[in-house]
Structure 1
Amino acid sequence: MKSFLGVTAHFGIDIELHSVTLGVYELDERHTSDYLSEILLKVCQDWKIDLENVTIVVTDNAANIVKAIELAFGKRKHIPCFAHTLNLVAEGTMICTEWRNIVSKVKSIVTWFKQSCIASDELHKATAAAMETPAGVKLIQSVDTRWNSIYYMMQRFLELRSLLNDILFRHPRAPAMLSASEIATVTSVIVVLRPLEAATKEISGDKYCTSSKIMPLVRCMLSKITSAVIEDPVAKEVQKLAINELNKRMGSIEHVTALAVACILDPRFKKMHFNDAIACSKAVAKIKGLMMKKNLQTNEEIESDSDKSDKNEEAFSLWTDHHKLVHHNWKINKSENVLSDELSVYLRTPVGRLNENPLEIWRDYKIQFPKLYKIAFKYLTIVDTSVPSERLFSQAGLVMTEQRNRLKGKRLNKLLFLHSIEKNIGIYKEKNVLAL
């Protein structure tokens, strides 16, 4: 069985987010971190991507790929895929034996309907008549690697339970229907897991800002799950497990610098969703440091030109270096005050509406906050899931058809790249995030 590594690049142009396929690379050696890091560096080299221009690399939580990113790009440039982490949270709730058994029962019922043409036809007729839709409604089968498929399977099962019960009753060899208490458990667990499903759906896009939403989503998920009033004992255990998993895997999310900076620089959130004052102050300090760095670079360019013209005009003085230090110190203090004022004024502006595009808001802020604008654009264009690179394998299936079954890897990658280019974009100038 062959293994592949999918790589996509994500970046912003004006107020829009864009992505492009860099390729699907066959892995013909053991998947060690050293080997994977070599592949990634080769990808950047082939596409002439300067490593300094890569803001963040997003991958799943597998130890080998995480280590590979650290070797190739540095530890600070890695962020685990938020959707994959949510998947691990949901998997953690399956520790509850009673809930796992109920899921297995529902899965066996769904499998039976999928495998029995007679039962499937009966369900189709029953749903078409009950819901007045000619196509009817089908059961959903869960997929082990996608926790939300379990959620959708259970949700659809609840919707059709009365019809399913009638059909199962007519077939002696059919799996047993869930008991009333088990149905009550499923109903309550759906309430517990709904925030996880909503968050997964919220951050699975790559055409809108997601990095700044991670902290608010984690806080809102915990609040919803914790405040849910659950009476069923099995569902209560699932609720407890979900809270513990969220705290274990995302309890320190505020200390992930890139996500904290993105949250503060999103006009819809700013500092509202910080629980840890130290994490908030560190993120603010990081923003100030980035502003100072950009400002000093600009000043040094101006000074280098002026120093050349003044060099010959200076009279000899033993205190020349002292005067330069005084002048430099005065400029730094002045710059710090100006930059600090820019950030303070931004933080005092009214919070934007949740349905607004933060990049559109920043387009209006560009003149008022010129230094912050560049930093905001850099961090808000981070895509915090590896979902786009996973979709890449579906695209590869469309490109690698039976009529093209002799395509070599290099040619396939070129076709995938061309397939991914949006028609309204001519030239890509900036690469911001790699998703693996």
Structure 2
Amino acid sequence: MLKRFTEIKDPIISTLALTNASLPSLSPEEWNISREILDIIKPFEEVTTEVSAEKFVTASKVILMTRGLQRIVARYQRNPSSFDPVKKLVDALMSEMTKRFGRVEHIEKLADATCLDPRFKKQAFVNHQAAEETVKRIIAAAAAINPAQSEEDTSDPGATASAGAMFWEDFDERVASLRPSATSSKTSDAMMEMRAYLAEPLLPRTSDPLSWWRRCSPVYKSLSEVTKKRLCIVATSENDLQGHLVDVIIWIKDLRIL
């Protein structure tokens, strides 16, 4: 509404002057305030459109979008407007975003989706601790999903006759202590996959992360299984995210009708 009013400012002024000159109208200063407010809330409208998409991966973008909004508002705080209403709006926006988005990087599903998006990975995180916790959590999930690999049967048929002989006990006990457990092996495999995945160059921001995972899933077998449960999340589709994100979206939409 405010955007449309500003776009047709001259016709509105002319029409009011011709039809009912006694009606109160906006002063030049108020029109300038309107234009500045539009510039400030435009990024919020863009985020609302992006996060409400139904056909695209959006959960992995939430952390980046919220941090981007915070930086934009911080820039307006560093270069304040000459109008008090605009200053108050900027301060209110920063206060609300700090309250609502302060720990957004610690929301597990958002953090996991972001890290598993080959366009963003750990580079999307401002909080180093949150990034490391996310990596550890994904590794644990990958290790739990990864089925135990059956060992190849390389036994010597000629040795089976004495396989259970007592004189092998000492050697078998010492060798058994050197073999990693199945759990340890799966965790190591998951860590190696994660290390290799993070070493891959980032995809361009406009690329399709799901296509990349379809192509690379044979290489990252464990991580791809975790990705199927995380990266496909649409930001407003998960019940435990709705209370947080939908509230934010409604709040942003309210700003557009100020």
> Do they superpose with TM above 0.5?
yes
Change in Cα spacing, 1:195 to 1:323, as seen in structure 2 (3 Å) is farther
Change in Cα spacing, 1:263 to 1:386, as seen in structure 2 (3 Å) is closer
Task: Spell out, residue by residue over 1:32-87, the C-alpha distance to the aligned partner (whole angstroms, 9 max, x if none).
Answer: xxxxxxxxxxxxxxxxxxxxxxxxxxxxxxxxxxxxxxxxxxxxxxxxxxxxxxxx
Q: Which has the higher helix share?
A: 2
For residue 214 of structure 1, report the CA deviation from its aligned partner: 0.5
Other-structure match for 1:215: 63
TM-score under structure 2 length normalisation = 0.78
Other-structure match for 2:194: 343
Cα pair 2:140 2:187 within 8 Å, conserved: no
CA distance in structure 2 between the aligned counterparts of 1:287 and 1:175, rounded to whole angstroms: 62
Uncovered stretches (5+) of structure 1, i.e. residues with no partner: 1-152, 304-309, 388-436
CA distance in structure 1 between the aligned counterparts of 2:176 and 2:31, rounded to whole angstroms: 76
Matched, 1:169 2:2: no
The amino acid of 2:33's aligned partner reads T
RMSD: 2.8
1:252 to 82, 95, 103: 103
CA distance in structure 2 between the aligned counterparts of 1:157 and 1:328, rounded to whole angstroms: 74
CA distance in structure 1 between the aligned counterparts of 2:145 and 2:237, rounded to whole angstroms: 30
Cα pair 1:188 1:230 within 8 Å, conserved: no
Other-structure match for 1:278: 129
The amino acid of 2:202's aligned partner reads V
TM-score under structure 1 length normalisation = 0.47
For residue 185 of structure 1, report the CA deviation from its aligned partner: 1.1
1:383 to 234, 238, 243: 234
Change in Cα spacing, 1:177 to 1:314, as seen in structure 2 (3 Å) is farther
For residue 333 of structure 1, report the CA deviation from its aligned partner: 3.8
The amino acid of 2:73's aligned partner reads I
Other-structure match for 2:30: 182
CA distance in structure 2 between the aligned counterparts of 1:324 and 1:174, rounded to whole angstroms: 97
Task: Spell out, residue by residue over 1:71-114, the C-alpha distance to the aligned partner (whole angstroms, 9 max, x if none).
Answer: xxxxxxxxxxxxxxxxxxxxxxxxxxxxxxxxxxxxxxxxxxxx
Cα pair 2:142 2:225 within 8 Å, conserved: no
Other-structure match for 2:254: none
CA distance in structure 2 between the aligned counterparts of 1:324 and 1:170, rounded to whole angstroms: 98
For residue 314 of structure 1, report the CA deviation from its aligned partner: 5.3
For residue 160 of structure 1, report the CA deviation from its aligned partner: 0.2
Task: Spell out, residue by residue over 1:99-142, the C-alpha distance to the aligned partner (whole angstroms, 9 max, x if none).
Answer: xxxxxxxxxxxxxxxxxxxxxxxxxxxxxxxxxxxxxxxxxxxx
Other-structure match for 2:218: 367
Task: Spell out, residue by residue over 1:374-419, the C-alpha distance to the aligned partner (whole angstroms, 9 max, x if none).
Answer: 11121011111159xxxxxxxxxxxxxxxxxxxxxxxxxxxxxxxx
CA distance in structure 2 between the aligned counterparts of 1:172 and 1:318, rounded to whole angstroms: 105
Matched, 1:205 2:205: no
CA distance in structure 1 between the aligned counterparts of 2:175 and 2:44, rounded to whole angstroms: 58
Cα pair 2:119 2:202 within 8 Å, conserved: yes
Matched, 1:158 2:42: no
Uncovered stretches (5+) of structure 2, i.e. residues with no partner: 152-159, 239-258
For residue 265 of structure 1, report the CA deviation from its aligned partner: 0.4
**Paired residue total:** 224
Change in Cα spacing, 1:355 to 1:173, as seen in structure 2 (3 Å) is same
The amino acid of 1:163's aligned partner reads P
For residue 370 of structure 1, report the CA deviation from its aligned partner: 1.4
2:148 to 294, 299, 309: 299
For residue 339 of structure 1, report the CA deviation from its aligned partner: 2.0
CA distance in structure 1 between the aligned counterparts of 2:175 and 2:55, rounded to whole angstroms: 49
**Structure 2 residue matching 1:205: 3-state secondary structure:** coil
Q: Which has the higher strand share?
A: 1
